[in-house]
Amino acid sequence: MDLLFISVFALLIFSVNGGDIVHQDDNAPKKPGCENDFILVKVQTWVDGKEDEEFVGVGARFGKTIVTKEKNANYSRLTLSSPRDCCSKPKNKLAGDIIMVHRGHCKFTTKANIAEDAGASAVLIINDQNELYKMVCEPDETDLDIHIPAVMLPQVAGTKLEKMLSNGSSVSVQLYSPQRPVVDIAEVFLWLMAVGTILCSSYWSAWNAKEAATEHEKLLKDASEELSNVSLGGVVIISTKSAVLFVVVASCFLIILYKLMSSWLILLLVVLFCIGGAEGLQTCLIALLSRWCEPFARSYVKVPLFGAVSHLTLAVSPFCITFAALWGVYRNLHFAWIGQDVLGIALIMTVIQIVRIPNLKVGTVLLSCAFLYDIFWVFASNKLFHESVMIVVARGDKSGEDGIPMLLKIPRMFDPWGGYSIVGFGDILLPGLLLAFALRYDWLAKKSLRAGYFLWAMLAYGLGLLITYVALNLMDGHGQPALLYIVPATLGTFLMLGRKRGDLKVLWTKGEPERLCPHVRLHMADELSHDS
């Protein structure tokens, strides 16, 4: 596999499942009076009695806990602090108002104590950046006794609230923190989507491999062509060197995206995704329709610059290009996730069909490298860059766009916080290459479903992805490297079964079942005919 293909392949690989992530500060431990869990808080506003915009903040480690149900939340008038940072006693009387203060230079707990002493019912602290910051207590603070809730809001929310107040309007707010469901139905559909994509891709790859093997045997029996002259028809075989190089190139691309993240870079990724998605969709549709429209698929017309093109390709291509272009233009609409998933699935299936692992050795090297790559860029990169590089790139931070398109996603259906459940292309594509290899081996070795490797590896993949979502919920929505769970499950199952059944040596080196070569069969038949 040449460097160009590795580069394109690496650009498509993002392997992270993520949720809402706020800036972390875990240096200060919990202590009496400062032991609240960090929770997201909805700040619903009313302007002159009419419901207006809703903002999202994060509750502090200290202070009164915030109610979970909207019906139990009180309406309170919003007042701007004077002085703005609330590091000294406010000049205005509060009488149960919610006071809005700037972050300033004094402690968060100092602001909360001053606001409570002045009669405020809650304090909204506006951050000086457009991110949410977890408010903790100082290590030397003891005997904290704060009885009002404190909520951090991003800078953009504070600007909008100040504008409402500066217009002379009466602004009221309501604070509550609805609980997320343990499992959202979107995660179930996303799991089915990932498993279904690998299932279809594997059968497509195995079917083509079986047809190629049958054709090879026919050519050899007819003595019309030598095996060395038979082409695999556009299939790219990964080598051990390519597997290692892929991770190096993928890491380089990730750093480039992290350092140069901007709206134009996201736009470039969107264009590349549209091109790849249109090509993938065309390949999938032609493969599907050619079964029913064989004469149409086998008749060709000469097209300038492209040469001989089948009539079926001419019919399908405009639809695929238009579909991808429309998604690129309207990708910010609320239903655009459907088009992104269609293009993404088609692209993944096409890559799994084209790219092949020749044996278990290459598969082990590829997945092991991807395993380390995923863990490093999700977790260990915090040490070097002070934030998770993979998660920042996946979300598209500092780009002004809604993340990169190299993800499958479904809107969360019963989550009061909304958002999307996502899975990276790499979480499907990389294990999919191994599973496709397993099914190709099973078919060529004429193994039954239970006696083969594909069924058990497929079950292991489904379990690994399920564990990923369990870990995601247990970790309070923080991004998780899915390959951390998927690779040990799938690769471990494959290696264990291969060793137990005595196939490991063949799987590791040859990657194909031991079969008698057609040349040998023909030679033996000639000898028998002469003897008779």
Distance from CA of residue 149 to its chain's centroid?
34
Greatest CA span in the chain, whole angstroms?
115
3-class DSSP state of 455: helix
Tokens at 476, concatenated = 């309070």
Buried b (16+ CB within 10 A) or exposed e, 12-36: bbbbbbbbbbbeeeeebeebebbeb
Is residue 65 exposed (0-12), middle (13-18) or buried (19+ Cβ within 10 Å)? exposed
- Overall residue count recorded for the chain in this entry: 532
Residue linked to tokens 């406010």: 90
Q: Which residues are catalytic?
A: 374, 427
Beta bridge partners of 422: 409
Side chain identity at residue 388, one-letter code: S
C-alpha span between 330 and 526 (Å, rounded): 67
Torsional sign, CA 527, 529, 530, 532 = positive
Beta bridge partners of 56: 42
Strands (E), 112-197: 122-126, 150-153, 171-176
C-alpha span between 134 and 434 (Å, rounded): 41
Helix (H) or strand (E) holding 203: helix 185-221
